Amino acid sequence: MAITLYGISNCDTVAKARKWLEGNGYTYTFYDYKKGGADAEKITGWVLEAGLDKVLNKSGTTWKKIPEDLRAILDETSSIALMAEQPSMIKRPILEYDTKGGTGLLVGFKAPEWAVALG
């Protein structure tokens, strides 16, 4: 099974997810979008599958630094562009994995949810 973990290397939640994957015997590719950049097309796919509210990290400091009046007028397209420009605004981690019917997607780290999905 091919697994790709997207995130930022110095993120505590990403570190927990990596430890969980390794502890459960999963091999994966890690993509640090702070170093490699965030692709707007990839983000668009995540938003289409999981929803903007799930992919856009509104609890981080980057989001909170955006003026309230600007946050109020952001739509899906401008939010995706903003996440591509500032990858720390993407919820972490994001996991893509192969399934029998295609590709699965997990946003955020919840060990029980990951165990069921990857089981």
Distance CA 29, CA 64 (A): 30
Annotated catalytic residue 71: no
In the set 5, 11, 47, 84, the catalytic residue is 11
Handedness of CA 95, 96, 98, 102 (dihedral sign): positive
Find where tokens 């890690």 sit: 30
Q: Which residues does residue 7 pair with via DSSP β-bridges, in sequence order?
A: 32
Secondary structure E strands in 1-119: 3-7, 29-32, 94-99, 102-107
* Catalytically active residues, by annotation: 11
